[in-house]
Chains A and B, each alone.
Chain A
Amino acid sequence: MSSPSLTLPSPGPAAARKRRLLEILGAVAIAGTYVYLVLNQPTDITGGPGSASALIALSGFLVGAVLLIVAVLPTLPASTVVLIPVALVLNIVLGQFVGSTLVPFYLDAIGTVLIAVLAGPAAGAATGALSSIVWSFFNPTVLPFAAGAALIGCLAGLAARHGMFRRFYLAPVAGFVTGIIGGVVSAPVAAFVFGGTSGVATGAIVSAFRSMGDTLLAAITKQALISDPMDKAIVFTVVAVLVYALPRRTRLQFPFIRRHRVLAGQASNEARTQAAAATTGSPAQPTGQGS
């Protein structure tokens, strides 16, 4: 890589393997933490300070999220890296707009899901985790939710990859399912790190379940199951509206969209195969390099 060559070498398999390993480690850390917390929770909340589980939740999820970022971020092309700050700003600005005018939900993942649809699950996961980390600059309490946000981004990318954005009515369904998974995984953070939720309204719902004698984790998980799926269904719908409003040329500049035909009605057959050849043909063969 030290020659001022005008062309790029094709990416080697070693880098991909290292990245895959880190991704798996990150996912294992998150999943392991969740399983551990769910299995161990009943004793912890009542007895003692409960901060051991807080620390496990914090460190497990954070380490997982950081591993994902370390795995994914350096491998993303500049065009995606530059989009991430845009996504974070959209998370904040659009979330605020919708949140303030439309409905009482968080809607703080519009940008994350948008990137996931445009650039794929890995970019989505990194964006989600980074969104929490950068946002914790102003509000440190969102930091522990990095893993959950990464999961949302990853699932949104997978949904896009498997054609859930090709039909307009499928997007909210995918959002709903993503919300269920994301909510369940984030619940232990709320339960063990914060001992509750960060809003008064959601707090009231948790209280209701608690009054029926649920454990804190169960109550928060149920609360998350009430609000998160709806929230993510709206977010996915908003993102579907936005991506379909993009002009074709802008959409097609994203290899992920071209390769997996993420959106409906975009390609004539011939052009599609051409585009696919142009992007998937990774071992770029120089047809001739004069002089």
Chain B
Amino acid sequence: MRLNPLTSLALAGATAVITTAAASWPLSLAVAAAALALAVRGGIARRLLPAAAAVLVPLCLSLLIMHGLFFPEGWTVLVQWGPARITVEGLAFALERAAQIAAAVLALLVFSFSVHVPDLVAALSARGVQGRFAFVLASTLTLLPAVTSRVHRIRQAQESRGLVIRPGLLHRATAFRLQAVPLVLSLIEEAGTRAAALEARGFSNTGPRTSYRAVPDSRLQRTLRAVLVLAATAAVAARLWLGRAGT
């Protein structure tokens, strides 16, 4: 069964929210492991892992340094060296947070690396906020590679004019201006034309819309989505209520 993109979004979102709300490191680790397993099975692990690492490695390192070495609230000191003291509480706090964030990040990344963007756009109805949000999302994803290659083209064109980027802050700042100005100018101008074209094709119509692309959906999936949203909300409410009761 092909999942409706909204269903997978609800799945990933609810997982992330519930894991955060539960704040239990065994659950966090289990979720992270499950997300990785899913990624491997779905054949997206090779693209997902670098992206996840780029996010998680600096964050976890930063947490470890920060709380591992300096945690004034900690009292079980393992090693002390000048102002730095490694405490059990600090390490535990860092690891717990790291696990929790890793679980949420991995769950969401599995979604974004497995979803078929055109389906997601079609699934978000084309009206009002949803439609405009879908437009922003899809348009950004389309423009990103195009703009990267345009930056390259502009650089080539300017090198052909004899502009060499020399080292030094001032030269680099100049080079930035030389390349950014044509880029921004052409993008703004094109956006103007695109806006007119989209308007002429009824982009701002307020009436009902239809979709050319058929996205699979079923009653079961709709029910599932509702249940997931409810579960996530319940988890947040429970945690907040417990949190208030607890402290």
Q: Which residues of A contact B (CB under 8 A)?
A: 1-2, 43-56, 58-59, 69-70, 73-74, 76-79, 81-86, 88-90, 92-94, 97-98, 101-102, 114, 118, 130, 133-134, 136-141, 194-200, 202-204, 206-207, 210-214, 238, 241-242, 245-247, 250, 253
Contacts and interface: CB of A to CB of B under 8 A. Distances in A.
Interface in B143-197: 143-144, 147-148, 151, 169, 172-173, 175-177, 179-181, 183-185, 187-189, 191-192, 194-196
Interface string B126-143: 001100110111011101
A44 B240 CA distance: 12
B112 interface: yes
Given A73-B133, A213-B72, A55 B199 contact: no
A242 B96 contact: no
B147 A242 contact: no
Contacts of B100: 51
Nearest to B243: A52
Top-9 shortest CB links A-B: A52-B243, A203-B62, A51-B23, A85-B139, A49-B23, A210-B70, A195-B97, A79-B195, A140-B108
Nearest to B143: A89
Given A89-B143, A194-B59, 14 more contacts: A51-B239, A58-B20, A81-B136, A83-B191, A85-B136, A86-B188, A89-B140, A102-B169, A102-B173, A195-B97, A196-B59, A200-B62, A203-B62, A203-B63
A79 B66 contact: no
Interface class of chain B by DSSP: helix
B243 A199 contact: no
A134 B140 contact: yes
Contact of A114 (B66, B83, B94, B184): B184
B91 interface: no
A93 B148 contact: yes
B211 interface: no
Contact of B109 (A55, A98, A140, A206): A140
A50 B96 CA distance: 11
Contacts of A83: 188, 191, 195
A140 B194 contact: no
Contacts of A204: 65
Interface in B17-36: 20-24
Q: On chain B, which size bracket covers the interface?
A: 35 or more
Contact of B137 (A82, A97, A137, A245): A137
Interface of B: 16, 20-24, 51, 54-55, 58-59, 61-63, 65-67, 69-73, 83-84, 93-94, 96-97, 100-101, 104-105, 108-109, 112, 128-129, 132-133, 135-137, 139-141, 143-144, 147-148, 151, 169, 172-173, 175-177, 179-181, 183-185, 187-189, 191-192, 194-196, 198-199, 203-204, 206-207, 236, 239-240, 242-244, 246-247
A246 B94 contact: no
A90 B187 contact: yes
Contacts of A245: 177, 181, 184-185
Contact of A89 (B59, B147, B169, B247): B147
Contact of A207 (B69, B169, B191, B207): B69
A49 B136 contact: no
A242 B180 contact: yes
B203 A246 contact: no
A196 B187 CA distance: 36
Contacts of B204: 77-78
